[in-house]
């Protein structure tokens, strides 16, 4: 069996936790030491071998995908990371992977979004695998058994029982509350966005119901394909059209983390319905979600039904049941070119990451983490000098061609205009405090001479 | 005329804005370039000359008082800063100042709290000065003409008209809303906590109504005095007892900033009743006070009647009309020895200040500001090395007896166990980024050899 992980979403409904350049699937949530994407990958490894997994994403997330897999200790084939030139919804994304898989022959494929949380993993794997028994005849969609009349999900109505699962009576869009109540009482299931099918059957149905998509993918140029293919979901484009569809119920605790309201539902609450850290002080306050920094002292007085998401550079306060409006916040921020739509204070690069600790008029302080064996580009800045203080690990520093080691507790200095490179030759992460001084301290003051990541000709 | 400024309050009802070691009177509020104390001092300078002003405070705030006066460009007589060994409410504080003033003979004195905001300063000065006409006969209290039935203030009922102001019928404690409504309709005034009287008359009344206070102050040892004197307010101890009391109405916009509800009333609101920065995003939200950092992106969705005070290390969310419970938060934090009751991330020292920018496992980063002409103690640390990068001004650095200048853009390094001193020999503030490295990074790892501020034998 092959597995396709969809990892191209931008997660804007979870701003400011999720940012365009580092969306929710790559976040490590509170109390979790792995990201949602990493958990998804490990789950997939119980369904398919690493070499049988394909990941569809976009160019901005490619090194995040590879970096997070590397962090798990796996070596992943870069050719299995399929980079979409633009987002055209799930049908082109899935079909892109199917076409790649078909180069090695037809097979059964399971399609899994990278941004869902699943609790009972053993049951999950067992149920997903049941699909193999009917994948010779059906396109299978997995339906979650509802635990409440949720208005945020699409619904699937099962019809006649099959060897595994059911035929499908109909698909339903997100309902209002009354309708949802009716659905739940009548055995409808939540549409999970997970699928299983044979590549040949799927291709037949794409050709039949979406000839434009099918034709677009005949090109060998991926840019041309994505210019031509329409923007369409796999549900709307195939699953809701074909009569060869089956649904298998998944009776597990599941969350798509689609909004902060879903967050509130997902995490454990105290006796007053609050989700908070131990040290937080809550007076006459109930049913709140406090997603804040553990090191910060948070106090609530007389507050109810509030979602509080506090990051160093952004604070969101949102009344519960209104979290769908977070998208409106993101739209407004985009209109004012607010960089906090795209970036966290920590920016991830192929070689590691940097966090802006403080910006003054003529200085900027960053904490830089360089992954073992990685190096930054050989570069110079016209407008700033840089002081590097190594706080962990050992750095190999090159200045104007002269190499030297700078060890933990030591520091070095790069004058304005000098060519330099920072490198981690060691086996553990290198941590450096960088103090930049100058009258212009933006990222675009950089001239690259050599780069491991092909950026020597750009400013990225 | 002499003036007494009361500057010993701890402002705990304004946490986290106000902290024990740097309370509200020393804060520069949003859009203000001077602190409330500084504004009070400048206001007093329209009533009395600098040499005629006395400031009562405690030892923790002494250098804040002196530093903030110096910042205004004045040289203040240190002997006019009267340091109370402990807080015993306003009667001992005022009487302490009166006894000091009487050493030079009797005079008229105006007593002004350091933590009030006043809008119409010219009218304020004019009205305060009217007291001089009746100070030969009366102890004068100033009463604010109410603009609403406030339940957070005490009330004064004026009786018969005098040459200036009125005799007083009675003093009233903070009322409930119905009573406050009745007071306002019947011409009662808010008790402002500002007074004027002759020192000899005041002393007579203290002797008459508070013999214990009077007797305690006969000692020449201030510690002994404060051990003996009861804890009592000037209102309860004298003004409400004496028949020689008059009230002069002040018809000005006034706030004691006694709570965040008072903050909300004091600042200008937009058409939805919100107080926020321009860049803040407010969707379906009204009547909120956002007291946040201008550099932070703040978004509200569906939030009403909420007070939001966001600092880097602490976040308070408080439903309006419940801000008196902030004191409860402070009490709880005290019980857990949370340092955020006492300190901001910025700590003020006699020589300037430092701000903790980041704390890691084995490193700490501070921004240090050294005032012109000031120097830190000559010191050493057993457990940490220090890297100093000068970002503004010029530093004189002494390491093991060797002096050198470190200029803007330059850096230096102090090894663990080396004696060192940082000094600002210049005319503008010196700004240094300090990166500490070591396994123990607390403030008490310090041995002082010489100190301008008498701290060579202590760890403070």
Instruction: Based on the fold, state whether residues B104 and B144 are members of the same structural domain.
Output: yes
CB-based contact B363 A296, cutoff 8 Å: no
Q: What does residue A149 show for φ and ψ, rounded to 5 degrees?
A: -75, 80
Q: Find the mean pLDDT for residues B63-92.
A: 95
Are residues A173 and A88 both part of a single domain? Answer: yes
Residue A460 forms part of a structural domain: no
Chain A residue with the nearest C-alpha to that of B310: A315
Local confidence pLDDT in tens for the 460 residues of chain A = 999 999 999 989 999 999 999 999 999 998 899 999 999 999 999 999 999 999 999 999 999 999 999 999 999 999 999 999 999 999 999 999 999 999 999 999 999 999 999 999 999 999 999 999 999 999 999 999 999 999 889 999 999 999 999 999 999 999 999 999 999 999 999 999 999 999 999 999 999 999 999 999 999 999 999 999 999 999 999 999 999 999 999 999 999 999 999 989 888 899 999 999 888 999 999 999 999 998 899 999 999 999 999 999 999 999 999 999 999 999 999 999 999 999 999 998 889 999 999 888 889 999 999 999 999 999 999 999 999 999 999 999 999 999 999 999 899 999 999 999 999 999 999 999 999 999 898 888 999 988 887 777 544 4
A109/A161 same-domain check: yes
Confidence at residue B453, expressed as pLDDT on a 0 to 100 scale: 79
A306 contacts B317? CB cut-off 8 A: yes
Q: Assess if residue A13 is contained within a domain.
A: yes
Q: Which of A306, A335, A364 is where one domain is finished?
A: A335
Q: Which of B17, B313, B341, B389 to mutate to test the interface with A (most CBs of A within 10 A)?
A: B389
**Spatial contact of A152 and A266, defined as CB atoms under 8 Å apart:** no
| In the predicted structure, residue B458 carries a pLDDT above the cut 50 | no
Same domain, B179 and B67: yes
Chain B CA closest to residue A314: B297
For B374, the domain range is 346-450
* Pair B249, B368 in one domain: no
Is there a single domain that holds both residue A235 and residue A351? no
Assess if residue B91 is contained within a domain: yes
Token digits of residue A355: 């966090």
Contact check, Cβ <8 Å, A389/B387: yes
Q: Where are the beta strands (DSSP E) in A401-452?
A: 402-407, 411-414, 420-423, 430-438, 447-450
Note whether A213 and A94 are same-domain residues. yes
Q: What is the pLDDT of residue A278?
A: 82
pLDDT at B456 over 90: no
Task: Report the number of secondary-structure helices (H) and strands (E) in chain B.
Answer: 11, 27
List chain A residues with CB under 8 Å of B367: 358, 360
Please tell me the distance in Å from B329's CA to the nearest CA on chain A: 7
Q: Is the pLDDT of residue B363 over 70?
A: yes
Does residue B303 lie in a domain region? yes
A273 and A244 part of one domain = no
Asked if the Cβ–Cβ distance from A297 to B338 is below 8 Å, we say yes
Option in A314, A360, A431 nearest B296 (CB)? A314
User: Mean pLDDT throughout B306-320?
Assistant: 97
In a domain, A459, yes or no: no
Q: In sequence order, which residues have a C-beta less than 8 Å from that of residue A223 and are 6 or more positions away?
A: A85
Last-in-domain residue among B236, B257, B278: B257
The predicted structure's pLDDT at residue A452: 83
The answer to whether residues A391 and B363 touch, using CB atoms and an 8 Å cutoff, is: yes
**B409, closest residue in chain A (CA to CA):** A437
Same domain for A310 and A377? no
Q: What share of chain B is helix, strand, coil (3-state, %, to 5)?
A: 25, 35, 40
Question: Is residue B212 a part of any domain in this protein?
Answer: yes
Cα of B304 to nearest chain A Cα, Å: 9
A171 and A140 in one domain? yes
From the CA of A407, how many Å to the nearest CA of chain B?
Answer: 12
Into how many domains does chain A fold? 3
* Same domain? A285 vs A362: no
Measured at the CA of A181, the angle between CA A177 and CA A186, to 5 degrees, comes to: 145
Domain's final residue, options A313, A335, A357: A335
The alpha-carbon gap from A19 to the nearest alpha carbon of chain B, in Å, equals: 13
Say if residue A226 is in the same domain as residue A271. Answer: no
Confidence band of B459 (pLDDT split at 50, 70, 90): very low
**Which residues in chain A are closer than 8 Å to B325, comparing Cβ atoms?**
283-284, 301-302
Q: Which among A20, A299, A390 is the top mutation candidate for probing chain B, defined by the most B β-carbons within 10 Å of its own β-carbon?
A: A299
How far A371 CA sits from the closest chain B CA (Å)? 18
CA-to-CA dists, residue B80 to B6, B40, B42, B57, B263, angstroms: 12, 16, 16, 10, 31
- ipTM for this prediction: 0.90
In a domain, A457, yes or no: no
CB A100, CB A75: distance < 8 Å = no
Considering only CB atoms, which chain B residues are within 8 Å of A435?
A: 389, 391, 411, 433, 435
Asked whether residue A458 is assigned to any structural domain, the reply reads: no
- Check A413 against B408: CB less than 8 A apart: no
Q: Please give the helix or strand (H or E) that residue B179 lies within, else none.
A: helix B177-185
Mean pLDDT of chain B: 94
Give me the pLDDT at residue A459, please. 42
Give the CATH number for residue B396. Answer: 2.60.120.10
């Amino acid at each position: 069996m092959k597995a396709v992980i969809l990892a191209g979403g931008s997660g804007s409904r979870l701003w400011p936790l999720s940012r365009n350049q580092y969306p929710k699937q790559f976040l490590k949530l509170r109390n979790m030491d792995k990201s949602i994407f990493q958990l998804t990958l490990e789950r997939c490894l119980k369904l398919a071998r690493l070499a049988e997994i394909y990941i569809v994403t976009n160019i901005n997330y490619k090194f995040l995908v590879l970096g997070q897999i590397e962090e798990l200790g796996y070596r992943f084939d870069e050719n299995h990371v399929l980079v979409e030139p633009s987002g055209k919804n799930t049908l082109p994304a899935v079909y892109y992977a199917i076409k790649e898989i078909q180069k090695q022959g037809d097979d059964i494929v399971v399609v899994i979004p990278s941004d869902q949380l699943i609790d009972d993993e053993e049951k999950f794997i067992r149920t997903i695998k049941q699909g193999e028994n009917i994948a010779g005849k059906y396109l299978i969609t997995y339906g979650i058994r509802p635990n409440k009349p949720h208005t945020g999900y699409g619904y699937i109505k099962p019809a006649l029982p099959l060897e595994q699962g059911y035929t499908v009576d109909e698909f339903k869009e997100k309902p209002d509350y009354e309708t949802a109540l009716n659905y739940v009482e009548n055995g409808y299931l939540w549409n999970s966005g997970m699928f299983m099918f044979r590549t040949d059957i799927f291709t037949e149905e794409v050709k039949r119901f979406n000839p434009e998509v099918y034709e677009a993918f005949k090109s060998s140029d991926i840019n041309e394909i994505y210019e031509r293919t329409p923007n369409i979901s796999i549900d709307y484009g195939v699953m809701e059209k074909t009569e060869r569809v089956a649904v298998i119920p998944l009776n597990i605790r599941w969350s798509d983390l689609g909004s902060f309201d879903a967050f509130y539902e997902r995490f454990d609450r105290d006796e007053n319905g609050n989700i908070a850290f131990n040290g937080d002080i809550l007076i006459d306050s109930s049913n709140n979600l406090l997603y804040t920094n553990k090191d910060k002292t948070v106090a609530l007085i007389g507050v109810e039904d509030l979602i509080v998401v506090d990051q160093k550079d952004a604070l969101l306060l949102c009344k519960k049941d209104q979290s769908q409006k977070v998208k409106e916040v993101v739209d407004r921020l985009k209109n004012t070119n607010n960089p906090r739509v795209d970036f966290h204070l920590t920016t991830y690069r192929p070689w590691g990451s940097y966090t802006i600790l403080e910006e003054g008029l003529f200085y900027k302080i960053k904490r830089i983490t360089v992954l073992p064996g990685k190096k930054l580009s050989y570069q110079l800045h016209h407008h700033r000098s840089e002081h590097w203080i190594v706080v962990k690990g050992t750095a190999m520093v090159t200045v104007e061609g002269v190499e030297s080691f700078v060890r933990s507790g030591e520091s070095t200095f790069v004058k304005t205009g000098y060519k330099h490179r920072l490198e981690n030759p060691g086996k553990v992460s290198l941590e450096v405090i960088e103090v930049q001084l100058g009258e212009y301290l933006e990222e675009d003051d950089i001239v690259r001479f050599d780069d491991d990541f092909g950026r020597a000709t750009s400013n990225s």
